[in-house]
Amino acid sequence: MWTVKLLKADHVPSDFREPFIINGYRSCRCTVSTCLFSALQYTNETMNFWTHFAGFLFFLWQMYQTGDRYWKYDDPFTWAFIAYLISCCIYLVTSSWAHLFSCMSEWFRHVCFFMDYGALSVYSFGCALAYNYYVFPTDYLGTWAHKLFVPLAFVNGLCCTMLACSSRLMHEGKLRKIFRMVAFMLPYVCCSVPLLYRMVFCQGMECEAESFVAHKWQFYFAFITSFLYASHFPEVLAPGKFDFIGHSHQIFHVCGCLATYSQFLAVVSDMCTRRELLLAHAPSGTFMSTLGLLGLLVVSNLLIIASFANYIWSPEQLRKIKFMQGKKTIISFDEKKSV
């Protein structure tokens, strides 16, 4: 019925190319229906879509399952956990749809990944909420550091979105990559500081906490994820050989999902085993300090993304960005036609 014509890297604009990926590109003028149908065809974005969309479906199922055991709408102690689960679903589904629809136009590609960056920011804040209410070190519960943790994570989330979106307007190269990695890693590192402190300076029975095993696996997978994103391994060793299956972004997605799942198991464990301890030292979160703040961050990120999208709306502005980045656009005769 619909056929997605696949192109080589030198037949698509440079903004649409991925390092060391030679084949399997879709047109940069695809329609919505073509994008949807491409999820069922063999392109270099097909597995990028499914690796995160499958993760989204899995966490949606986890949200349904854990509703019977771990969280209730009328229990304030679990509201931070609900916010965390929602943030997991948001980042996974947004990432998958960004990969699926990023080939409709140059402007739409930018907007798709602006949304992706904003969703990662929301996820980092969801992690901060879960860590604040369930994982925070006992020694610091109720202290000024504990009270400032969530507000700082909120500001960090906004900065993450702005830095990551700004990186798309920078000159292509190592600096752009570093800039974007900092935007992604800074919220994660800052969020993980209380957990790392708790694991390194634990005392007595705390060192035998069941959640520590899952927390460690989370860090292992997070390290692998960062390595793959920065190195483009394994396609850097054999350009064109991993275009459809096995390139770094696909493995990056899988390891990211595994890191999130390990984190999920650890948060569930801490939430259940530390409930009495946590409630004795710090009050449960209110709706506004958990789900309300998450919603506020979503709205704030959408406003940031809208401002960036509006900034690059005109073709003239897109040309200025391409000129600033020093790129040359190569479009073949076939590329000018919609698939």
Residues at the binding site for Zn(2+) are 99, 249, 253
Annotated binding residues: 99, 249, 253
- Label residues 139-171 b or e (16+ Cβ within 10 Å = b): ebbeeebbeebbeebbebbbebbbbbbebbbee
Q: Give the list of residues 6+ apart from residue 197 with CB closer than 8 angstroms, or none.
A: 137, 140
Tell me the C-alpha distance between 215 and 263, whole Å: 6
> Residues for the chain: how many in total?
339
Tell me the C-alpha distance between 321 and 323, whole Å: 5
Q: Roughly what angle, to the nearest 10 degrees, separates helices 79-101 and 106-130? A: 160
Tell me the C-alpha distance between 66 and 82, whole Å: 10
Task: Give the tokens for residue 211.
Answer: 């959640």
- Label residues 96-121 b or e (16+ Cβ within 10 Å = b): bbbbbbbbbebebbbbbbbbbbbbbb
Among residues 44, 67, 66, 63, the alpha carbon closest in space to that of 55 is found at 63
